[in-house]
Chain A
Amino acid sequence: EAAVTQSPRNKVAVTGGKVTLSCNQTNNHNNMYWYRQDTGHGLRLIHYSYGAGSTEKGDIPDGYKASRPSQENFSLILELATPSQTSVYFCASGEGLGASQNTLYFGAGTRLSVL
């Protein structure tokens, strides 16, 4: 079964530290996305990618970088973590064409606390 796997599932970081969230997908989808979800709210797009080597800014990219070294892997990097980045982060993959166009499949989420 196709899947999107995130690691770690939980992370506690210190202010000013570097955090890397990883995502792996076996869907063979070209597109991958990083969202964050704050308590009581919907998901907001941070970065996305159309394929290996590409990254694009989403709606709230400040303070985040992304890396897509391969079709399967997409990382979200917080170079200098701040408490305002405490949130739940979701990775997703999707296809840009065909019957399932833009249907996104999500990982289980990573809960990040920045102290």
Chain B
Amino acid sequence: AQRVTQVQPTGSSQWGEEVTLDCSYETSEYFYRIFWYRQLFSGEMVFLIYQPSFDTQNQRSGRYSVVFQKSFKSISLVISASQPEDSGTYFCALSELVTNTGKLTFGDGTVLTVKP
């Protein structure tokens, strides 16, 4: 069964600091992707980055990067040089590629506040 856990319900940082948000997951599949989305205060869901399970290289996109620890079924989102505009709720989500329904299983999210 798929399960995604985000143990930090909230997080905070100061402007310019690096922020790390943690996620763990459960899956019996070998091929999967882990996605990170940000939910704006308006409710809009914005795709940030994903990590394929078969890629040993940590993915990076702009100020976003991940630290992927496949053997621990753990992944962290790292936001460099955080800004107040980065505040919002961050969701980790799992997609199993073998079944390929395209279904995402979401964690409960981490609410990030970046202080000016």
Contact = CB atoms under 8 A, between A and B. Distances in A.
A42 B43 contact: no
B33 A102 contact: yes
B109 interface: yes
Nearest to A29: B102
Contacts of A5: none
B42 interface: yes
B44 interface: yes
B102 A104 contact: yes
A58 B104 CA distance: 10
Interface of A (DSSP majority class): strand
A56 B103 CA distance: 11
Interface in B28-60: 33, 35, 37, 42-45, 47, 50
A103 B35 contact: yes
B114 interface: no
B71 interface: no
Interface in A14-49: 31, 33, 40-45, 48
Interface residues of A, number: 26
A106 B44 contact: yes
A84 interface: no
A44 B106 contact: yes
Contacts of B50: 103
B44 A101 contact: no
A105 B108 contact: no
Contact of A108 (B33, B44, B103): B44
A31 B102 contact: yes
Interface in A93-108: 94-96, 101-106, 108
Interface string B85-108: 000000101010100111111111
A56 B102 CA distance: 12
Closest 3 interchain pairs by CB? A42-B106, A106-B45, A102-B95
Interface of B: 4, 33, 35, 37, 42-45, 47, 50, 91, 93, 95, 97, 100-109
Interface of A: 31, 33, 40-45, 48, 56, 58, 88, 90, 92, 94-96, 101-106, 108-109, 111
